[in-house]
Amino acid sequence: MTEVLWQLFWLFALLSMVAFGGGAGVIPDIQRAAVDVHHWLTAKEFLDIFAISRSAPGPGSMIAVYVGQKAAGVAGGLVAFVAMFIPSSVVVHFVALGWDRAARKPWRAVVEQALAPIGIGMTFATGLSLAHGTEHALLSYAITAAATLIFAFTSVHPILLLVAGGSLLLLTGG
């Protein structure tokens, strides 16, 4: 039990420090560790908790809490929460203190310019790894493609798309 808690702690603390481009970019690594390495969840369960964490209130990185909870109960969920949110928050706090001075430094523009494509690549990696990490049926791929285009090029609220996707599968029976 304690061993699992340490595994959770190190997994999420390390990923917390490399989650460039928002929290979702580390999901491929969470997926590999939780599904393939430690077998805490099945691939379908992982996609389900991704869907729940994306639909429920709060930051999407709460997916860490579901992984921890499945691996080691409420204690696991709490350890995953602390490991996922505290290290990056400490970094933000210290950077925030010197941020106004950094605003006028030329290196800041270079760092911003350099990290943008990294974060964008990580964002796409999450979608790609979730789509091919699960036994996706044709209908699911069609829904994913439609949701991608609608979200990218219109201003339809994401919650409407989520409701539509869930209802469509229920109505057609998969």
The interface with another protein within residues 103-142 (CB under 8 A) comprises 103, 109-132, 134, 136, 139-141
Distance CA 36, CA 46 (A): 11
Q: Is 10 in the site for another protein (CB under 8 A)?
A: no
Give the residue with the Cβ less far from another protein, 5 or 81: 81
- Shortest distance (Å) from residue 111 CB to another protein: 7
Per rule CB under 8 A, is residue 72 in the interface with another protein? no
CB of 7 to another protein, least distance (A): 15
- List 49, 72, 79, 83, residue binding another protein (CB under 8 A): 49
CB 2, min distance to another protein, A: 20
Rounded Cα gap, residues 19 and 167, in angstroms: 32
Question: Of residues 10, 18, 42, 105, which one binds another protein by CB under 8 A?
Answer: 18
**In angstroms, rounded to a whole number, what is the distance separating the alpha carbons of residues 31 and 144?**
19
Determine if residue 22 is left, alpha or beta; phi over 0 gives left, psi from -120 to 50 gives alpha, anything else beta.
Answer: left
Q: Does 74 bind another protein (CB under 8 A)?
A: yes
Residue 4 contacts another protein per CB under 8 A: no
Structural element, H or E, at residue 101: helix 63-102
- For another protein, give the closer residue by CB, 2 or 57: 57
Does 95 bind another protein (CB under 8 A)? Our answer is yes
Q: How far is the CB of 171 from another protein (least distance, A)?
A: 9
Cβ contact 20:92 at 8 Å: no
| Distances, alpha carbon 82 to alpha carbons 40, 62, 124, in Å | 19, 11, 26
Retrieve residue 160's tokens: 């409407």
Q: Tell me the residue type at 104.
A: R
